[in-house]
Structure 1
Amino acid sequence: MTIIGKTIHLTIDAILISTCLAGIKRNTGLTPKFNQISDNTVKEYSIKYLNLGESVYDYTVATLGSSSHFQRK
């Protein structure tokens, strides 16, 4: 696998992990403790990373909700 292929693969994996964490947040209310992170840059990018997962989660729920293949219970 080329370097570009590995980079794409790792990027997609990171987005899937962020989306999974967004689902956990929505269903249980559990969130990371950002106040324990001392470096402001790391804290800022961590929040942006989790916000990306929230966006992907929202888009996925909206898309599946409008699909005829899924129904709400």
Structure 2
Amino acid sequence: MKLELTDDEALVLFELLADYGTSDDGRQLVVRHASERNALWAVHAALEKRLVAPFQQDYADQLSAARSRIEGEGGSW
């Protein structure tokens, strides 16, 4: 299977999955089965192999800009 994401989508998804289970701000990602968790981990690992931004000094700025662009395209909630 091939999944295509924009650079912004990949970065935001990477951060969401990296933050999964470690957030202290009350956000939750509901996973109902170990297989779902394992699948999410596989996606995160694939993104981690491809992305360089998370390892750069200005990662927080890049992530913020990506979030803003995506929100602008799809609307906020």
* TM surpasses 0.5: no
TM class by shorter-chain length?
Answer: 0.3 to 0.5
Rg comparison, structure with higher value? 1
TM-score (norm 1): 0.41
TM-score (norm 2): 0.39
Higher relative contact order (CA 8 A, sep 6+): 2
